């Protein structure tokens, strides 16, 4: 990409899209095309096609998605598969129809089988059953990968797929039921501290292991890959490091300054036992994450405090 290339970020108001937008702007890219969901409904095929016909973006970061944690994924199963399937299909097809130079599709580590060997290598895709609680979302993301591969195979399009690990950071979702584990814990410990609650209950056993990547690091990786990666196969983006949910909770508890007790509700689902990305392919290209987990959580907590009213 040149600094004046026309770049469309689908989902620029989300955590990932917002991080990509900030990274591009801070690095001198000056021709960004942006639309809010009220200005452009990405589920509307004709509206998306008209937008591409009028704007003719050269590079597309496909970060728009309906996202949520275990409870949201399991509750809104139809919404998660329908909205994500139709958004990505509309954008990928329009990018092809209107001669985009390149498209980067953002997936998720949940595409891998529930019991896949660890760490998760790119070739483990479609080698076993998915985690049932987020299967609809995962299938939609797998379809996006296959769409990119199919348009490359049939039409020679330079469409690439990037699979980030669990993300957190500026502009995260802190909804008490529908958020992911890390932002949910930030909110719960903060509210427990204010209310001087004697204990906080964590969903599940605390034993599953998870990897977390600061969204600003992902943005840097996405621009790096847009400029340097043009392979058919998907590529993982992560830290290559993980910790248990219990360890994560203790870390967040310390950063927030909560002094009460941790309890674990084993009646709630744990999800996949472990999700650690193999990032050797990405590191061989010359990229590695910058932000340590404790540093990133401190920044995320400060962002939560700045936006506490909106998070309620």
Report whether 165 belongs to an annotated binding site.
Answer: yes
Q: Do you know the residue count of the chain? A: 312
Report whether 167 belongs to an annotated binding site.
Answer: yes
Encode the chain (312 residues) as per-residue pLDDT tens digits: 999 999 999 999 999 999 999 999 999 999 999 999 999 999 999 999 999 999 999 999 999 998 776 677 778 799 999 999 999 999 999 999 999 999 999 999 989 998 899 999 999 999 999 988 889 999 999 999 999 999 999 999 999 999 999 999 999 988 877 678 899 999 999 999 999 999 999 989 999 999 999 999 999 999 999 999 999 999 999 999 999 999 999 999 999 999 999 999 999 888 778 889 999 999 999 999 999 999 999 999 999 999 876 545
Report whether 134 belongs to an annotated binding site.
Answer: no
Under DSSP, is residue 263 helix (H, G, I), strand (E, B) or coil? strand
pLDDT at 133 (0 to 100): 86
pLDDT at 11 (0 to 100): 96
- How many C-beta atoms lie closer than 10 Å to residue 208's C-beta? 19
Angle at 94 between CA 92 and CA 99, to 5 degrees: 100
Q: Name the catalytic one among 59, 112, 137, 258.
A: 137
The structure tokens 């199963």 sit at 77
**Can you read off the two tokens belonging to residue 237?**
């983006």
**287 contacts: CB under 8 Å, gap ≥ 6:** 220, 221, 224, 225
- Identify whether 124 is a catalytic site residue: no
Report whether 203 belongs to an annotated binding site.
Answer: yes
Report whether 161 belongs to an annotated binding site.
Answer: no
Cα gap 143→197, rounded to integer Å: 44
Contact 145, 111 (CB under 8 A): yes
Q: For residue 236, what is the enclosing H or E element?
A: strand 235-237
CA neighbours within 13 Å on the CB side: how many for 102?
18
Cα gap 301→312, rounded to integer Å: 15
pTM to 2 decimal places: 0.93
Domains of the chain: 7-172+212-240+275-291 (3.40.50.720)
pLDDT at 52 (0 to 100): 98
């Amino acid at each position: 990409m040149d600094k004046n290339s026309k770049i469309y970020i689908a989902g620029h108001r989300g955590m990932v899209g917002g991080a990509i937008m900030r990274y591009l702007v801070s690095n001198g890219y000056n021709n960004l095309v942006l639309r809010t969901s009220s200005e452009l409904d990405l589920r509307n095929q004709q509206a998306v096609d008209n937008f591409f016909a009028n704007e003719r973006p050269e590079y597309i970061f496909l970060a728009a998605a309906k996202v949520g944690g275990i409870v949201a994924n399991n509750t809104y199963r139809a919404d998660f598969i329908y909205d994500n399937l139709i958004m990505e299909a509309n954008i990928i097809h329009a990018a092809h129809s209107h001669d985009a130079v390149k498209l980067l599709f953002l997936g998720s580590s949940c595409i891998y089988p529930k019991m896949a060997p660890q760490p998760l290598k790119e070739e483990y895709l479609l080698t076993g059953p998915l985690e049932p609680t987020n299967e609809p979302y995962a299938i939609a993301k797998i379809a996006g990968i296959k769409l990119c591969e199919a348009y490359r195979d049939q039409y020679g399009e330079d469409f690439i797929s990037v699979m980030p690990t669990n993300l957190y950071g500026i502009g995260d979702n802190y909804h008490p039921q529908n958020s992911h584990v890390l932002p949910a814990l930030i909110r719960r410990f903060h509210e427990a501290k204010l209310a001087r609650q004697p204990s906080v209950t964590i969903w599940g056993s605390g034993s599953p292991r998870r990897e977390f990547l600061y969204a600003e690091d992902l943005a840097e990786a996405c621009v790096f890959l847009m400029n340097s990666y043009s392979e058919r196969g998907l590529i993982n983006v992560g830290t290559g490091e993980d910790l248990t949910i219990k360890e994560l909770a203790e870390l967040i508890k310390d950063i927030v300054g909560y002094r009460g007790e941790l309890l674990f509700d084993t009646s709630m689902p744990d999800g996949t036992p472990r999700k650690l990305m193999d990032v050797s392919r990405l590191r061989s290209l010359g990229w590695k994450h910058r932000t340590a987990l404790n540093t990133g959580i401190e920044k995320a907590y400060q962002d939560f405090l700045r936006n506490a009213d909106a998070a309620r």
